[in-house]
Structure 1
Amino acid sequence: MGGAVSAGEDNDELIDNLKEAHYIRSDLVEQAFRAIDRADYYLEEFRDNAYKDLAWRHGNIHLSAPCIYSEVMEALDLQPGLSFLNLGSGTGYLSTMVLFSLGRFPCKIIRSYVKQRPGKPQNHGVELHADVIEYAYQKLDTFIKTCDSFDKFEFCEPSFVVGNCLEITPESRQYDRVYCGAGVQKEHENYMKNMLKVGGILVLPLEEKLTKITRTGYNIWETKKIIAVSFAPLAQPKNRDTGKSKAIPLRKCKQSTAL
């Protein structure tokens, strides 16, 4: 899905168009989108297409359309101090936007939109392809070295691990917010839901609808369909026939603070 928003000449114009089309509706999400230039996550030879509302793929590297990411960010209802798990973390573009939302914001306009929470944020990603994780860390390193927003935010850098997200032992860790960037079959819905803490939010493509699932109790769920989407399906584990799951290690993320 994509192409619903007019192409921009630069990142700010793209975001202006997303706001005008009501894909970006909150100041918190707008600040995160403006802090990161989408073109920086493209290969150099494809940067001219970065500000179109279209998905992009080159080999294993993939970015969803900007309108999808904005709907995801709005649906996650991110707040400082939360833990976040990105399943199919790809280039790290979304995880990097999320890191601004999990940190504490000295900006008064942002503080009025988020509830300060105790504890350190967690920002983890699981990605199937090792070359994509290498690409994500390269982009993250460049972003950290060139970002001019460090004087405005306190945040937690994302950490990425190689693995199939269907091979995580669900009981190993639960998160406040979870996003899956691949199409989820109905048979895997409960597996995904069990990664959430009570009160947590899961956003995923389910039966060709971007879906928001809120865990309101131990066995109580609220489901909301957001928009129609078309995502490639989750890759099935190679050891599916054995019935065994790998406990994918999720590292503690490094907390970064404005100096």
Structure 2
Amino acid sequence: MGGAVSAGEDNDDLIDNLKEAQYIRTESVEQAFRAIDRGDYYLEGYRDNAYKDLAWKHGNIHLSAPCIYSEVMEALKLQPGLSFLNLGSGTGYLSTMVGLILGPFGINHGIELHSDVVEYAKEKLESFIKYSDSFDKFEFCEPAFVVGNCLEIASDSHQYDRIYCGAGVQKDHENYMKILLKVGGILVMPIEDQLTQILRTGQNTWESKNILAVSFAPLVQPNRNDNGKHDTVGL
């Protein structure tokens, strides 16, 4: 998925192209994208493709195409002080951009299946905080990443204002995702090859809107432990 905008020479060039193509439409989203160099989330030797509108995968490390992240960031309608949950947080690229908008009073949680990817995300976050020229220009809500399967979140976990799921959600898991959302909250996730924005309008009511046709790998189903039970993930 991707290829919707022309390749950039660097991160600013890529953002200019995403703006011109109307994928990035608000100033806060633009500032977050400009503050974090997408190329920094690539492994050495692979950065040549960082500013193309293409997804990238190497082992368990995966980045969606820039046009996808742009649509997600816009659809989440982020504001300072909100709580955010990233299901399948990966490299932490999206969570870090979100943290720049949430500010110091927000909550920024990510859950990722692969422990090596969580370590990678933590390294990239540390580098951003230590070395980025942008870091001091923002009040930051630092993301916290945990290892686990997002279909095994403990039932007593609190609900969130904003949720993104970065893997394809089967219809039978749709309600599970919706229940994690506060009333008035927004959930963005791929369902049946459509990136979908879901607004929780009441205790038992939701409104859905298709944003974009997408192709995402499906969520990995949980394994049972030796006792035949699922491990639960605390957030």
- Asked if TM exceeds 0.5, the reply is yes
The interval holding the TM-score normalised by the smaller chain is over 0.9
Match of 2:144 in 1: 159
Aligned to 1:45: 45
Among residues 178, 181, 184, which one is paired with 2:166 in the alignment? 181
What CA deviation, in whole Å up to 9, does each residue of 1:178-235 have, x standing for no partner? Answer: 0000000000000000000011000000010000000011111010000000000000
Moved more, 170-179 or 89-98: 170-179
Conserved 8 A contact 1:170-1:191: no
- Cα distance in 2 between the residues matched to 1:221 and 1:171: 22
Alpha-carbon offset, residue 155 of structure 1: 1.4
1:237: how far off?
A: 0.4
1:30-109, aligned counterparts within 5 Å?
Answer: 30-103=30-103
Change (3 A) 1:243 1:214: farther
Secondary structure of 1:45 counterpart: coil
CA distance in 1, matches of 2:169, 2:98: 22
- Counterparts of 1:140-155 in structure 2 under 5 Å? 140-155=125-140
Equivalent position amino acid for 1:182 in 2: A
SS in 1 for 2:23: coil
SS in 2 for 1:44: coil
| Kept after mapping to 2: 8 A contact 1:60/1:129 | yes
TM, length-normalised to structure 2: 0.97
In structure 2, distance between residues paired with 1:212 and 1:82: 17
Cα distance in 1 for partners of 2:228, 2:213 equals: 32
Q: C-alpha displacement at 1:153, in angstroms?
A: 1.4
Q: Secondary structure at the match of 2:108?
A: strand
SS in 2 for 1:202: strand
Q: Give the Å deviation of 1:245.
A: 4.3
Shift of 1:239: 1.6
Partner residue, 2:6: 6
Q: What SS class does the counterpart of residue 161 from structure 1 fall into?
A: strand
* CA distance in 1: counterparts of 2:136 and 2:52, whole angstroms: 29
What amino acid is the match of 1:18? L
Distance 1:203 1:243 in 2: 32
Q: Is the 1:168–1:245 contact (alpha carbons within 8 Å) kept by the matching residues of 2?
A: no
Match of 2:198 in 1: 213
Asked if structure 1 preserves the Cα contact closer than 8 Å seen for 2:100 and 2:139, the reply is yes
Extract structure 1 runs of 4+ deviating beyond 6 A: none
Shift of 1:49: 0.5
Mapped partners of 2:95, 2:136: distance in 1: 19
Q: Does 1:192 align with 2:177?
A: yes
Amino acid at match of 1:140: L
- Cα distance in 1 between the residues matched to 2:95 and 2:197: 18
Counterpart for residue 25 of structure 2: 25
Assess, with a 3 A threshold, how the Cα gap between structure 1 residues 170 and 205 changes in structure 2: closer, same or farther. Answer: farther
Give the residue type in structure 2 aligned to 1:209.
Answer: Q
Post-superposition Cα deviations, 1:17-58, rounded to whole Å, max 9, x if no partner, equal 000100000001000000000000000110010000000000
2:23, 2:96 → 1: CA distance? 19
Is residue 146 of structure 2 the alignment partner of residue 131 of structure 1?
no
2:208 corresponds to which of 214, 217, 223: 223
Q: Which has the higher contact order (CA 8 A, sep 6+)?
A: 1
Question: What amino acid sits opposite 1:10 in the alignment?
Answer: D
Unaligned stretches of 5+ residues in structure 1: 105-119, 251-259
Identity %: 76
TM superposition shift of 1:172? 1.7
Q: Which amino acid in 1 is paired with 2:172?
A: E
Q: CA deviation at 1:148?
A: 1.6
SS at match of 1:70: helix
| Counterpart residue identity of residue 99, structure 1 | G
